[in-house]
Structures are given as structure tokens and as C-alpha cells.
Amino acid sequence: MFVHVETRRRRHVQWATVLLVVVCVISFVGLALMPAPERTSMWLEWGTVPANIFDPKAPLLPQLHDPSLLRLFTALFIHLAWLHLLGNLLFLVIFGLPAERALGSFRFLLLFVVGGMVANLVGALSLVGVRSPIIGCSGAVSAVLGTYIALFPRARLGLVLPLGFYLEFVRVPAFLLIGIWILLQLLFSYVGPSYGAVVWWTHIAGFLFGLVFALFSRDAIARRLRG
């Protein structure tokens, strides 16, 4: 799959998407090289474990100042398996590069980090008391997808389908593939052996955050494209 983006007079170096991919891969490899008990401890220590962040019997607002909320950020760069990592990074690259080109690298990085943290926060609030960690950048990627569909609502993606010994090239609306991705994320949340009951609200919250982020960034994007 690929995304066609119109060329512009001024070219800007796009580094945020590449940086995020590199950090996620390095983090995954580092954890994979650890012994299994240490790796599990790292997941629990730096992942977003709702039971370790929020006390359902205490007032919510004071808890939002707890330094343990840093785990909403660190959880973005922890992945359980190669399939988990590659699925997220594939969609991050496909949709992130054109979104970064429109937003600019710093604003795109802000979208990924803040969108991912908000998504993890909503996921943790929806699972208060659960001791399974919310890990991975699915919520952040959902935010990128939400912004992409808001910026390029009529975009069509080229898709190569294997049909026996032949490859068929078709063009499909971007929102159709995004919809399929969301449905797959919901499916994994319910039936995936490694995901269990965790995080479908995280994906929805990230996607909605991306839509809102794009709407509030319209003026800045227009100025950037004119420049």
C-alpha cells in the first residue's frame, strides 16, 4: 500500500515518523533480549497498569498529578510481540508520513505522544482495577489515523492483492482500510490470546483525539501549506 501526496515547492525533512519507528524497534529488541521474567517485570513496571495508576475509591482529580502517569507515555514504546509491533508500525508509516508532511514534524510528534497518552488514559479509566498492562502504540496510531482521515477525507490508497499467481492492483478509499483496521483492533481486543479484555476504548479514544486535533490544527496546516 502507498499514499500519494502532492509535491510542494518547499521540501521539509520529515524525521518524526522515522524517529518513532526507530525508538519502538530499539525498545522491542532490548526487551526481547531480556530473560522472560525480567521482560514481564518491565511490561508491568512501564506499561499502563490501570490498577497501579488509579484507585477507584479515591477522588480522580488529585490522582491525575501522580508521577506514575508517566507510564501513559512509556507504554507507547513497549510491544508484546513482532506481530503487535509490525502491525502498528506498518500503519504508522503508511498514514504517518503524509500526515507529518501536512502537520510538520514537531506537531506530528505532539499528535502521536499526546494522542497516545490520552488514549491510554481513557483505556485505564475504563479498566480501573485491572492488573493487565496496556502496552503498545495502537492508541497513538489511532490518533494518527483520525487526523489523516480528517486531512485527506477523499484519499485513495493503492492496494496490491495476491490472486493466485497474479498480483492485482486496486485503489480503495482510505477510510475503508482505516475502518477495517479499527474492526481488527476491536477483534484482537476481544479474542486475541495476548490482549484479552484490554484496550478497545484506547483505540476509539485515540481516533477521536486525532479528529479533534486535525480540526484545531486547520489554520496552522493552511499556513504551512501556503509557505
Per-residue model confidence as pLDDT tens digits over 128-160: 788 888 889 999 999 999 999 888 888 877 666
Strand partners, 163: 166
pLDDT digits (tens, 9 = 90+) for 159-194: 666 666 666 666 777 878 777 777 766 666 555 434
Joined together, the cell numbers standing for residue 75 give 507504554
pLDDT at res. 203: 85
Going by the DSSP 8-state scheme, the letter that residue 134 receives in this structure is: B
Q: Dihedrals φ, ψ of 48, to 5°?
A: -90, 95
pTM beyond 0.85: no
CB 207 within 8 A of CB 142: yes
Please state whether 164 falls in left (phi above 0), alpha (psi between -120 and 50) or beta. left
Measure the CA–CA gap between 68 and 55, rounded to whole angstroms: 12
**From CA 214, how far away is CA 200, in angstroms rounded?**
22
Residue 91, all three cell numbers: 500503519
> Residues 20, 97: contact at Cβ < 8 Å?
no
Which set of grid coordinates corresponds to residue 209? 483525539
Other CB atoms within 10 A of residue 16 CB: 23
Position with higher pLDDT, 71 vs 2: 71
For the segment 38-45, the average pLDDT, to the nearest whole number, is 89
At 156, give phi and psi (nearest 5°).
-125, 140
Mean pLDDT value of segment 89-108: 91
